Amino acid sequence: MRRISLSALILTAIIVVLAGALVAILLFVASQPPPRRGIQPLVEIAPYEPDSAKWGLNFPNQYSTFLLTEQNAISTTYGGSALISKLERDPRLVTLFAGMAFGVDYNEERGHRLSLKDVRETRRLNEKTPATCYSCKSANPPALWAEMGMREFGKVKFSDMSARITEPVGCANCHEANTMRLIVTNPALEEALAAQGKDWRNFTRQEMRTVVCANCHVEYYFQGDDKYLVFPWSRGTHIEGIAQYYADTGFEDWKYPEAGTSMVKIQHPEYELYTADSTHYRAGVSCADCHMPYARDGAAKFSSHNIKSPLLMAEVACGACHTDVAYVVERTKRIQDQVHETMSAAEDALIAAIESLKAAATDESADQVQLNEARRLHREAQLRWDFVLSENSMGFHNPEEALRILAVAIDMARQAQLKAIAASDAALLAKALQQ
Ligand code: HEC
Ligand code: HEC
Ligand code: HEC
Ligand code: HEC
């Protein structure tokens, strides 16, 4: 009896202690602040702050991965980040861009942190280059556009603007300070979307994960004496719409030497090619899905800002959706090889057209109507081939569309060649008939 009551006493004591501990734990948990998701800024960021290091104080994971874009220097078969001359890799480009700056200096593109260094070192610059060229190379322009407006910005010479441009591409090109929302920072993109009746403020988050790249990875040109930055999208973002826009406005980047063709140089239309109904785009995949895969820092998940060729990180870049990564990487190689081979055929056709055009252009008696038609076809063929060439994925972003465009380019180039030959033949025939 006494033994039982002693055990009961000990048991009761244990229960009381445990209950007390439980109450203490519950009180402790209840007194903790609620868990906060999302962004808790440590330091306030000024609107359009160009210095990414300041933003980096709040977001060390995004900042440290972003810094890695300065170190990347590995090549893939058709891309990567090594400093390679496209002209040395394919000397036909020297002929195809004869008479203009890209025929002199044209390198493989590299990481975002190198953007300012690379634009300053290119031999494509001259004393007439406008400040507009800094638009996509630096985190300073958004603040300058807010201060002086895009039109005034374009009127300044590149060299005169240089003192105010201190940062490569950075956080301010893609994010709104403090809210960290993805935003359109380039007025040219805002206007090009508006011209199609679109307002990015109504876009979904997934759409913005693609549209934010269109601040820079697009075809553009400098309009008029003000060198105003314009995306030629008012007739659509497909190659046909862009070609029509340039035909209607009669825009000319340079005159092809000896052939006399009025030419257009295409820039880097990743956004246009990708969104032209590609398989991935239709499936709702964004640029960031492949180029900014999620990474982990302990329990925290964040978007890697080390943007580079996804083939250098296929496990994470493709593996998020594809179970058989080796298979899709192999498919990618096949796609790129095919596009490369077709692109090569287009180059041969273009060079043949150029040779015939040069011969016809020096023939004083050549039929001018046919000669001009040959020039028009040369211009149209080359800008189509150039669209696929200067899009940096060797067709991967949209294989069907890339191959379709190249097929049209080859056909037009051969037509240009035939018309140029016919222009001289017509003159010979007329001469023969006179005699
Ligand atoms: C489905 C995945 C995927 C999507 C979506 C995607 N890309 Fe790519 N991107 C690739 C692959 C693969 C390559 C080829 C890389 C190579 O050849 O090394 C590439 C190449 C590039 C390159 C050249 C990289 C280099 O190393 O030379 C750029 C620039 C680029 N993409 C930008 C974009 C932009 C901008 C978007 C959205 C409009 C986009 N990508 C959407 C997978 C993707
Ligand atoms: C403010 C302009 C700007 C924005 C916005 C931008 N880029 Fe770029 N990007 C560039 C420039 C300029 C380069 C080439 C830099 C160089 O060659 O020095 C580049 C290079 C790249 C490369 C090649 C990197 C390498 O190492 O080969 C990829 C891939 C790329 N960008 C993808 C993207 C994606 C995806 C987005 C959207 C999430 C994006 N970029 C947004 C300007 C921009
Ligand atoms: C080329 C465009 C681009 C640049 C430059 C850029 N970001 Fe981002 N950032 C993105 C995209 C795209 C996302 C994904 C957003 C989403 O999923 O809603 C993102 C996401 C984020 C997020 C949300 C959390 C996450 O990781 O998904 C933070 C925070 C962030 N970035 C910080 C930064 C900082 C700091 C810098 C400068 C060091 C920076 N970003 C530069 C495009 C960019
Ligand atoms: C966010 C998801 C997502 C990511 C990331 C992704 N893919 Fe895909 N991919 C898809 C979807 C969805 C399809 C269409 C599948 C289908 O219809 O069967 C697809 C289809 C493909 C196809 C077949 C295309 C065709 O036209 O037949 C290839 C090749 C491919 N992906 C390669 C890649 C590579 C390489 C990467 C990484 C660089 C990648 N994908 C990243 C979702 C993704």
Positive/negative CA dihedral, 35, 37, 41, 46: negative
Amino acid at 119: V
∠ Cα 404 196 274 (to 5°): 35
Cβ atoms of 225 and 268 closer than 8 Å: no
- State the CB neighbour count (10 A cutoff) for residue 420: 30
- State the CB neighbour count (10 A cutoff) for residue 166: 12
Pairing label, strands 262-263, 254-255: antiparallel
CA-closest residue to ligand 4 atom 28: 328
Q: Which ligand is nearest to the CA of 289?
A: 4
3-state secondary structure (DSSP) of residue 417: helix
**Does residue 288's CB lie within 6 angstroms of at least one atom of ligand 2?**
yes
Distance of alpha carbon 257 from the chain centroid: 30
First CA to last CA distance, the chain: 143
Question: Rounded to two decimals, what is the model's pTM?
Answer: 0.92
> Residue 217 Cα, ligand 2 centroid: separation in angstroms?
7
Nearest to 332, CA basis, from 395, 391, 409: 395
CA–CA separation, 380 and 413 (whole Å):
8
User: Which numbered atom of ligand 1 lies nearest the CA of 392?
Assistant: 23
- State the CB neighbour count (10 A cutoff) for residue 285: 18
CA–CA separation, 14 and 18 (whole Å):
6
Distance of alpha carbon 10 from the chain centroid: 74
**Given this model, what pLDDT does residue 38 score?**
54
Cβ atoms of 435 and 428 closer than 8 Å: no
**75: left (phi > 0), else alpha (psi -120 to 50), else beta?**
beta
CA-closest residue to ligand 3 atom 30: 62
DSSP string for 66-122: HHGGGT---B-SS-BSS--BHHHH-THHHHHTTTSGGGT--B----GGGHHHHHHH-
User: Which numbered atom of ligand 3 lies nearest the CA of 173?
Assistant: 5
Site of tokens 């257009």:
264
Divide the 435 residues of the chain into consecutive groups of 10 and give the mean pLDDT of each group: 70 80 73 57 92 97 98 95 93 97 93 96 90 96 96 94 97 97 97 95 98 98 93 96 97 97 98 98 98 95 98 97 98 98 98 97 94 98 98 98 98 98 86 81
User: Which numbered atom of ligand 1 lies nearest the CA of 308?
Assistant: 26
> Residue 69 Cα, ligand 3 centroid: separation in angstroms?
14
By CB atoms closer than 10 A (0-12, 13-18, 19+), residue 207 is middle
CA–CA separation, 281 and 171 (whole Å):
25
**Given this model, what pLDDT does residue 45 score?**
96
Cβ atoms of 340 and 236 closer than 8 Å: no
- State the CB neighbour count (10 A cutoff) for residue 359: 16
> Phi and psi (nearest 5°) for 285?
-80, 140
**Given this model, what pLDDT does residue 9 score?**
81
Nearest to 140, CA basis, from 221, 218, 51, 226: 51
Site of tokens 């008029």:
224
> Residue 293 Cα, ligand 4 centroid: separation in angstroms?
14
Nearest to 93, CA basis, from 266, 273, 349, 351: 351
**80: left (phi > 0), else alpha (psi -120 to 50), else beta?**
left
Nearest to 214, CA basis, from 158, 167, 273, 261: 273
> Residue 394 Cα, ligand 4 centroid: separation in angstroms?
16
CA–CA separation, 296 and 63 (whole Å):
14
CA–CA separation, 68 and 242 (whole Å):
35
User: Which numbered atom of ligand 1 lies nearest the CA of 336?
Assistant: 17
